[in-house]
Amino acid sequence: MATLIIADCENNQLAPTTGSVISAAQEIGGDIDLFVSGHDTNDIVSNAQSIAGVRKVWVAEGEEYAHPLAESLTPLVVNLAPQYTHILASASTFGKNLLPRIAAVLDMAVVSDVCKIIAPHVYERYCYAGNILATVKNHSAIQVLTIRTTAFSHAEKKAPSSASTESISSDSINEQSRFMGIETHQSDRPDLTIANTVIAGGRGLGSKENFSIIETLAHKLNAAIGASRAAVDAGYAPNDWQVGQTGKVVAPKLYIAIGISGAIQHTAGMKDSQVIVAINKDADAPIFQAADYGLVADLFKVLPQFIELLAAR
């Protein structure tokens, strides 16, 4: 058995969730190779080489790979595919965008959002907004999987740069798609998908300005900031903060939901958190069914006090 991991190299760096995909590949067993891509890949490659358990790093370098366009990357991975029994990527927007395209060209099925490896071709995954945990067996010759990274340890073990590298390129030039730009939200907060603590705000915050109280609390707890769909739709928070069925999936040690009603589409993205706290003025809000600790109160009265208590510790 051999696994090829398509590493998420957005922003010209190896995504912090790569370790989780490697953990999943280790549970499958066999050799593990990494596919990385970018414009200037020196840092990515040396990082990839130093991860324990990686046999080989395939490198696609060039201006055309500066941003991970599915049309550019697919032919490269399709050429490598026959050498592998498994092709994995994180269930990030990167992996979800790319892997189904590759799989279709190979005539293989994809198992999305795998959260447990039962056997090398049997997996568990959630569907129906997290209401159903399904066990599935994939009969495709090459197992193409996206991995729910919160379900696997992301702790990378470092090793001396032992993995070999090999450059790859493609004859086909992508004239179909072009990267035009990206609008990112600069933040000094930890990455949402790997943070130990997440503070998430919902429509109950009432405005974009009021959302700053979430940021103050997040700062105190060195937490990442999340948001419900309602808060993003209302413009209180950027899209990349959205936690839920169709946004990001998080599973921190501590998740604090503030002013979030708790629709199943939201809880699907955070219910595997270790400890969940809900603060909401509506005692009947469904968020309390997902929470370990609940506080029925006006968040604008409680949060300043909460922040003060944390500062006094």
With binding defined as CB under 8 A, does residue 223 bind other proteins?
Answer: no
Single out the residue of 47, 58, 5, 23 nearest to residue 194, CA to CA: 23
With binding defined as CB under 8 A, does residue 171 bind other proteins?
Answer: no
With binding defined as CB under 8 A, does residue 309 bind other proteins?
Answer: yes
Single out the residue of 106, 24, 67, 13 nearest to residue 5, CA to CA: 24
Q: Are 285 and 258 in contact (CB under 8 A)?
A: no
Strand partners, 3: 32, 86
Smaller CB distance to other proteins: residue 87 or 99?
99
Smaller CB distance to other proteins: residue 212 or 305?
305
Q: Using DSSP, state whether 19 is helix, strand or coil.
A: helix
Choosing from 1, 52, 134, 173, the residue that interacts with other proteins (CB under 8 A) is: 134
Which contiguous run of DSSP H or E holds residue 224? strand 224-227
Q: Are 192 and 224 in contact (CB under 8 A)?
A: yes
With binding defined as CB under 8 A, does residue 64 bind other proteins?
Answer: no
End-to-end CA distance of the chain: 52
Minimum Å gap between C-beta 52 and other proteins is 26
> At which residue do the structure tokens 């696997």 appear?
152
- Maximum Cα interatomic distance, the chain, rounded to a whole number of Å: 62
**Number of residues located near other proteins, criterion CB under 8 A:** 92
Residues 282-301 that bind other proteins (CB under 8 A): 288-297
Minimum Å gap between C-beta 70 and other proteins is 6
Residues 4-63 that bind other proteins (CB under 8 A): 10-11
Choosing from 19, 38, 130, 204, the residue that interacts with other proteins (CB under 8 A) is: 130
Minimum Å gap between C-beta 83 and other proteins is 20
Give Cα separations from 44 to 12, 49, 57, 172 (angstroms).
7, 9, 10, 24
With binding defined as CB under 8 A, does residue 135 bind other proteins?
Answer: yes
CB atoms within 10 A of CB 62: 16
With binding defined as CB under 8 A, does residue 275 bind other proteins?
Answer: yes
With binding defined as CB under 8 A, does residue 120 bind other proteins?
Answer: no
DSSP 236-302: SS-GGGBBSSSSB----SEEEEES----HHHHTTTTT-SEEEEEES-TT-THHHH-SEEEES-HHHH
Stretch that binds other proteins, among 27-35, 45-53, 88-96, 152-160 (CB under 8 A): 88-96
Residues 190-209 that bind other proteins (CB under 8 A): 193, 197
Per-residue binding string, other proteins, 250-269, x by CB under 8 A, is ---xx---------xx----
Choosing from 2, 70, 80, 168, the residue that interacts with other proteins (CB under 8 A) is: 70
With binding defined as CB under 8 A, does residue 162 bind other proteins?
Answer: no
Residues 174-193 that bind other proteins (CB under 8 A): 175-185, 193
With binding defined as CB under 8 A, does residue 94 bind other proteins?
Answer: yes
